[in-house]
Amino acid sequence: MDASLLRALEAVVGKDGLVSQPTRLVPYESDGLAILRQRPDLVLLPRDTGEAAACYRLLHEAQVPIVARGAGTGLSGGATPVAGGVVVGTARMRDVLELNTEDRYARVQAGLVNASLSRECDPHGLFYAPDPSSQRACTIGGNVAENSGGPHCFKYGATTQHVLGLVIVQHDGTVLDLSGPIVDPDGYDLVGLFVGSEGTFGMATEVTLRLTPKPPVVETLLAVFDGLEAACDSVTEMIAERLEPSAIEILDQLTIRAVEDSVFAAGYPTDAGAVLLVEVEGLEEEVAVTSEDIRAIFARHPVLEVRSARDPEERLKLWAGRKGAFGAMGRIAPDLYVADACVPRTKLAEMVRATIEIARERGLRLATVFHAGDGNLHPNICYDRRDPDEVERVLDAGRAILERCVDAGGSLTGEHGVGIEKLEQMEYLFSEADLAAMCRVRDAWDPERRMNPGKLVPLRACGEIRAAALPS
């Protein structure tokens, strides 16, 4: 990289905000999708919107590709710099700028870790509802870019339902201040459009978020089954009966054993074929009635045991097991490929069977843990990335799983985004006209296509469509 550009960038972010030594660049080679790696030329860590904007301006003048990065916990290759260039990270942008407990919103820097916000709000009887299992590491900016979900998004909705405003640094360094907090803003909903854009529209530097009152009563149920099928069928029935717990999560046997052997041990029975974790929230009477209805559904399936967390400590333990499940799988194999797709909830059991079959046919080990209430499957393939043949089989299984879910009327991603991982399947799911519309939107935000190039919209489709459908 040009020495004068480096000097100018260092003048903006300071020595501590510029990473260029090859060994220190290694952690930025990939996100949680460790199969795909590419080292950036440089990493910049601005401290606020002004510094980020100045970096973007300089990189615009030099026409350098930019990848925004939060904590790098993404699972679809979103923060992996496939075209090289510069990674601009939010690791030094972690402040809560405003906590308004009366109007119930918070304005935060994009690098704030998700779980920190609920910790800050707790004394005021409020919390931030979207709770990805990675919430102790992932950032609010990453959540916005991926429109992240989490166990409790079944009741409260995914990130997009909680973002009231944004400050965005655009491709050329200009700043859009859409910081809200207005519930129904005039004009185009640019905030809504930005959420889920996976870093291809520029960088969110500040985010205004809705805060939610903590429910007065919470009950957490653990239902134990001898197989996945009965657990899935119970969920299908809960949805059909219009029951509204706040979270419905399933863990299969391999996952249960990995969790119980790890520091996240939650007291799940290790001989169970599957466990279902269901949370019910609200007023005391409401919780009692819903919980009784759910127990009645369990009783119609071969449930082995149903128990309710005795106290807040046991509840936290049950959730720590669920949220630590991906980490615990490190005990099974060195690497984990976390597939992510949504299917209609009437097809849960059928699709879980299909994913098991796909893995079996390719000689792969599969552990399943997922947001069952949203029909959001996470078939996790345990593998070793040092074995090229196994890597090929993993990628092939990933493709097959996604296509089966689309064929069943589902979508390519429940919450992890398209990134690089699902580019090919975008052409499987969307028509040429759909992709052309996406390309035009992308071009409006980033006419030079330097913002996280190679992600989300297949370039081949974009290139061909651009020639055919867009003025040059």
Ligand X SMILES: Cc1cc2nc3c(=O)[nH]c(=O)nc-3n(C[C@H](O)[C@H](O)[C@H](O)COP(=O)(O)OP(=O)(O)OC[C@H]3O[C@@H](n4cnc5c(N)ncnc54)[C@H](O)[C@@H]3O)c2cc1C
Contacts to ligand X by CB under 6 A: 31-32, 67-75, 78-79, 90, 110, 132-134, 138-139, 141-143, 145-146, 148-150, 198-199, 203-204, 326-327, 415-416, 452
Spatial contact of 131 and 148, defined as CB atoms under 8 Å apart: no
Phi-psi region of 167 (alpha: psi -120 to 50; beta: other; left: phi over 0): beta
DSSP 198: T
Q: How far is the CB of 115 from ligand X (least distance, A)?
A: 12
Nearer to ligand X by C-beta: 303 or 414?
A: 414
CA distance to 49, 105, 130, 453, per residue, from 278 (Å): 40, 28, 16, 40
**Which one, of 277, 274, 294, lies nearest residue 225 by Cα?**
274
CA distance to 285, 289, 314, 442, per residue, from 282 (Å): 8, 11, 19, 41
Structure tokens at 48: 């606020």
Q: Is the peptide bond before 181 cis (omega within 30 degrees of 0)?
A: yes
Q: How far is the CB of 4 from ligand X (least distance, A)?
A: 27
Structure tokens at 55: 């970096």
Q: How far is the CB of 114 from ligand X (least distance, A)?
A: 8
Contacts of 251 (CB under 8 A, 6+ apart): 259, 268, 274, 275, 277, 321, 322, 325, 368, 369
Tokens 């919209």 found at: 457
Nearer to ligand X by C-beta: 230 or 412?
A: 412
DSSP string, 330-394: GGT-SEEEE--EE--GGGHHHHHHHHHHHHHHTT-EEEEEEBGGGTEE-EEEEE-TT-HHHHHHH
**Which one, of 197, 140, 135, 142, lies nearest residue 171 by Cα?**
197
Q: How far is the CB of 124 from ligand X (least distance, A)?
A: 25
Report the distance separating Cα 257 and Cα 329, nearest Å: 9
Q: How far is the CB of 471 from ligand X (least distance, A)?
A: 28
Q: How far is the CB of 462 from ligand X (least distance, A)?
A: 17
Nearer to ligand X by C-beta: 357 or 448?
A: 448
Q: How far is the CB of 256 from ligand X (least distance, A)?
A: 17
